Homo-oligomer: A and B are copies of this chain.
């Protein structure tokens, strides 16, 4: 594990829980080694989460031949090199999103890692929210018909503090602000649920004086399948704490979701029923995705549990039960999201609707 802060905690908790919550686990994770910049903090993290060893030099993770999975939860600036080296050392890799700080870097990570022949997953954990997976299954089953609209916005408000300093505000470490942090999630789910994005007409905005990354982005988007909609993200939407909200309208029905109520999916079907309306589905049933691992109906899971679902999926992929994709985001997915984010930046600068071209390997 690289990183012991927010994502390090979320991933470590997941690895611990997989061992007993997804019984029998596809593979039994051993928490071998954790790396981080601060000596004292990484030592405490190792003790806390039960890692066998700790280090302040992430190269030790690469060098350890007993390690089979490298999980990169560090700042965006340390995604590329360690992840590529780990793959080249034959380790499967998980990397937090955004994959790289831009499309070029993301493509390089994908290219090098794919060449190494290991399994790779970009940790877009919201694909592993039961309601999101259920949405995907409903769409795949044709219950929404053809998709016409996607409206996605990821709104938070913690950015409204001029005194706050974190790597997330430094362009060299983060690459971008609300775009890569939140907007990339919207892009990824739109791709997972609707399809590939063809064009963006976008604005990128920084509100706070002195802030070096964007606070918000706004985009009108077209999908390759003809659907149109909007993608937005902001760290300054006061009152919204983790409001990743999206709506999808198809020719047969619609869906609505809000991450602040992550166990719920709103479902509309145009079935002619006189009692017409959106159903509030509590996605906790035995026949709902991932729920075999959790609790009886009505007993909700938490945000942290999405990582259990996600990393369990990765372990299954490593164990050969299925591929990482299409349900897990591969590094190609990580790269493609970055292409859309880059196009948003370009469109803001050019004032033009930007076409998006996706590169192969």
Binding site for B on A (CB under 8 A): 6, 10, 12-13, 16-17, 19-21, 23-24, 44, 48-50, 134, 138, 148-149, 151, 153, 155-158, 160, 201-203, 205, 207, 216, 218-222, 226, 228-230, 232, 234, 236-243, 247, 249-254, 259-262, 265, 267-270, 274-282, 284-285, 287-288, 294-305, 347, 351-353
List chain B residues, Cβ under 8 A from A277. Answer: 239, 267, 279-282
Say yes or no: A158 contacts B296, CB within 8 Å.
yes
Minimum CB distance partner of A232 in chain B: B230
Minimum CB distance partner of A229 in chain B: B218
Say yes or no: A202 contacts B218, CB within 8 Å.
no
What are 13 A-B contacts with C-beta separation under 8 Å?
A12-B20, A13-B21, A148-B207, A149-B237, A151-B232, A155-B249, A203-B220, A203-B228, A220-B220, A230-B230, A230-B232, A238-B249, A294-B304
Chain B nearest CB, measured from A282 CB (Å): 6
A275 to B277 CA separation, bound complex (whole angstroms): 13
A226 to B274 CA separation, bound complex (whole angstroms): 29
- Tallying the copies of this chain within the complex gives 4
Say yes or no: A297 contacts B241, CB within 8 Å.
yes
Minimum CB distance partner of A304 in chain B: B295
List chain B residues, Cβ under 8 A from A296. Answer: 6, 158
List chain B residues, Cβ under 8 A from A304. Answer: 294-295, 299, 301-302, 305
Chain B nearest CB, measured from A126 CB (Å): 12
For the complex of A and B, list the 9 residue pairs with the smallest distance between their C-beta atoms, beginning with the closest.
A241-B298, A242-B298, A239-B268, A302-B302, A201-B201, A299-B303, A351-B353, A301-B302, A277-B281
Known: A158-B297, A269-B275. 16 other contacts (CB 8 A): A12-B20, A20-B48, A23-B44, A138-B275, A201-B201, A230-B232, A238-B250, A239-B276, A262-B300, A267-B275, A275-B281, A276-B282, A280-B280, A294-B302, A299-B302, A352-B352
Q: Which of B226, B249, B254, B280 contacts A278 (CB 8 A)?
A: B280
Say yes or no: B6 contacts A20, CB within 8 Å.
no
Minimum CB distance partner of A249 in chain B: B237
* Given A20-B13, A236-B249, A347 and B301 contact (CB-CB distance below 8 Å): no
